[in-house]
Amino acid sequence: MANYSVCGIDCEKCKVGQSNGCKGCREIKGKVFWGECDLYKCNFHKNQDHCGKCAQFPCDMLKEWASSENPERINNLRKL
């Protein structure tokens, strides 16, 4: 089974994360190699497992992130 981040990235396929030692936002509690993840914080504060559980899914922040990289994340969340 895939290791999906809260925003729908398949961490097992993320080359950038793997090359930077990232084990996935769930395991490292949103403190990823590039800083603290706003999407992780949002889900944590809403006590949600992932963005797909949000009443505002897909929100503007998620859409913006998906448009710049990993566009498959929204479809991954729909499947979850």
Q: Supply the pLDDT for residue 2.
A: 75
Task: Please give the single-letter amino acid code of residue 47.
Answer: N
CA gap 21, 47 in Å, rounded: 26
CA gap 38, 78 in Å, rounded: 20
Q: Which two tokens stand for residue 34?
A: 């590039």
Q: Supply the pLDDT for residue 47.
A: 96
Query: Can you give the length of the chain in residues?
Result: 80
Average pLDDT of 42-68? Answer: 94
The whole model's pTM is what? 0.86
Q: Supply the pLDDT for residue 80.
A: 87
